[in-house]
Chain A
Amino acid sequence: MIEIRLNGKAVRLEHGTHLRALVTERVERVGGVAVARNEEVVPRSEWIGTVVRDGDRIEILVAAQGG
């Protein structure tokens, strides 16, 4: 197991979890979703190939009412 910070909270994951799995387990529609890993954007096309590592800070962001 590894431990990451997901949207500011500690989360334990299986070794080898990639970003796409992390996202699709949590959101109904991936349109309108963005992911940052350690303060850098990970483009949608790279989610599948990006394996989450121990200690990563991941942000999953979605559209919200605003401005």
Chain B
Amino acid sequence: MNVTVALTIADRQLGSRLITGTGGAPSLEVLERALRASGTELTTVALRRLDPAATGSVLDVLDRLGITALPNTAGCHTAAEAVLTAQLARDAFATDWVKLEVIGDERTLLPDVSELLDAAASLVDQGFVVLPYTTDDPVVARRLAEVGCAAVMPLGSPIGSGGGIRNPHNIRLIREAVDVPVILDAGIGTASDAALAMELGCDAVLLASAVTRAQDPERMATAMRLAVEAGWAARHAGRIPERLHAQASSPMEGRVQLG
């Protein structure tokens, strides 16, 4: 049984609410097993200078698994760099979709939201389906949605940190602030982080390092698939309100009378 319902981003329906990255895997073979286990239908790839020594391509892996490549603009520090990279990616991968990253700080890899907004507006004007990696600031998320981004992708904590979701409150506020899908991107460390993201109202989770750098990437990919499904199901099952005191689940009537 499929636990979740399909996620619609722009004109595309995704059966899996887990979006993965391909960075950090020790080999293409390990990556392939992990991606298969994750059940993902959409996976990020980067665009880099041709390496004459490289053997095999990440695109061959995606082709075999029937997974769509989502190009990113990783490593870009200005709107101009990100726009050019997106244009190159559009030509390389024959897709209008782009995961937009504009980094403002090398140590934290936090987004430069000013450049990000400029790049997002420009790319939307050029017909791109823009999925921006952004901070957990609800105002920035709203601005990104207003310029026409197809989704917003706030971080839980810095890229690759495995720090989980540092500010769950803001993720809930972002869910309220925009009508487009909210995708928790960056910071996931383990399965409970992914489940929490979905319980907070995110529509999907994007993660890479948590799987590709795990000791057993294939097993962690399975864990993430289940966590995303579990979190989504819990979110939509209507959880009980939190209470300060206990509430007995067994009836008080009809208790055995002793003595």
Q: Which residues of A, 1-58, contact B by the 8 Å Cβ criterion?
A: 7-8, 26-27, 29, 31-36, 39-41, 43-44
| Cβ of A4 to closest chain B Cβ, rounded Å | 14
* Residues of chain A lying within 8 A (CB to CB) of residue B64: none
* Residues of chain B lying within 8 A (CB to CB) of residue A40: 84
CB nearest neighbor in A for B208: A67
* Chain B window 39-59, contacts with chain A (Cβ cutoff 8 Å), 1 for yes, 0 for no: 000001111111110000111
* Residues of chain A lying within 8 A (CB to CB) of residue B23: 65-67
A-B contact count (CB 8 A): 94
Q: How large is the interface on B (under 10, 10 to 19, 20 to 34, 35 or more residues)?
A: 20 to 34
* Residues of chain B lying within 8 A (CB to CB) of residue A41: 84, 87-88, 91
CB contact between B57 and one of A26, A60, A62, A67 (< 8 Å): that residue? A62
Cross-chain contact A64 with B58 (CB below 8 angstroms): yes
B-side residues, CB < 8 A to A, are 21-25, 28, 31, 44-52, 57-59, 69, 71-72, 74, 84, 87-89, 91-93, 99, 101, 208
Cross-chain contact B49 with A8 (CB below 8 angstroms): yes
Interface size on A, residues (CB 8 A): 25
| Cβ of B52 to closest chain A Cβ, rounded Å | 7
* Residues of chain B lying within 8 A (CB to CB) of residue A27: 50
CB nearest neighbor in A for B43: A67
The winner among B47, B58, B72 for most chain A CB atoms within 10 A is: B47
* Residues of chain A lying within 8 A (CB to CB) of residue B57: 29, 32, 62-63
